[in-house]
């Protein structure tokens, strides 16, 4: 049934049904798209603004408070689902919050701080069991495919030559 064949008295009722059916799916799709592109911070800001919009909207309906509660429930549950979706982009970590108290911003001073930290933890950072980082046994000579095939051919030639020589040098009795 299309909009043109719909009875005029049922247009508003059908519109309300369409809105109530498709609005949650549209909100969910838009929220997921925002979360993939922007991240959790923007998603939280959008949730806050949508809830504020619902709370501040003046509705002249008999059950306005219940409608608001259902709308906020829809927003919160949608945002919870979007946050747990694997495609949701994670926000970048705030490095300033992680910086150790007293750590220098100047590269020269930072190098000095790192060096003094290494000296303070010397026995633990350089265990006596590690004497050398050299690989024992030396390096192996890497050979190409052509060389391997040539060596196999030579080895076959030598082994077949030995068999032929043993047959011709047989002892007569």
User: Following DSSP, what letter does each residue of 101-148 receive, concatenated?
Assistant: TT--SSHHHHHHHHHHHHHHTHHHHS-TT----SPTT-PPPP--HHHH
What pLDDT, in 10s, does the model give residues 69-85? 998 998 998 888 888 87
What pLDDT, in 10s, does the model give residues 21-68? 898 888 888 888 888 777 778 888 989 999 999 999 888 888 889 989
- Provide the 10 A C-beta neighbour count for residue 75: 21
Is residue 167 predicted with pLDDT exceeding 60? no
The pLDDT score that the predictor gives to residue 73 is 92
Confidence tier at 143 by pLDDT (50, 70, 90):
low
122-124-128-133 Cα dihedral, nearest 10 degrees:
-80
């Amino acid at each position: 049934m299309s909009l043109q064949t719909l009875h005029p008295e049922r247009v508003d009722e059908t519109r309300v049904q369409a809105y109530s059916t498709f609005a949650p799916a549209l909100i969910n799709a838009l929220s997921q798209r925002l979360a993939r592109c922007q991240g959790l911070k923007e998603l939280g800001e959008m949730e806050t603004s949508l809830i504020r919009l619902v709370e501040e909207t003046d509705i002249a309906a008999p059950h306005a408070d219940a409608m608001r509660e259902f709308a906020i429930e829809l927003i919160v549950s949608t945002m919870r689902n979007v946050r747990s979706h694997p495609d949701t982009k994670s926000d970048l970590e705030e490095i300033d919050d992680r910086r150790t108290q007293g750590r220098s911003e100047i590269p020269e001073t930072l190098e000095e701080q790192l060096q003094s930290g290494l000296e303070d933890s010397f026995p633990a950072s350089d265990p006596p069991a590690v004497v050398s980082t050299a690989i024992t046994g030396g390096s192996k000579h890497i050979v190409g495919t052509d060389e391997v095939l040539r060596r196999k051919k030579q080895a076959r030639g030598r082994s077949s030559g030995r068999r032929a020589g043993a047959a011709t040098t047989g002892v007569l009795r």
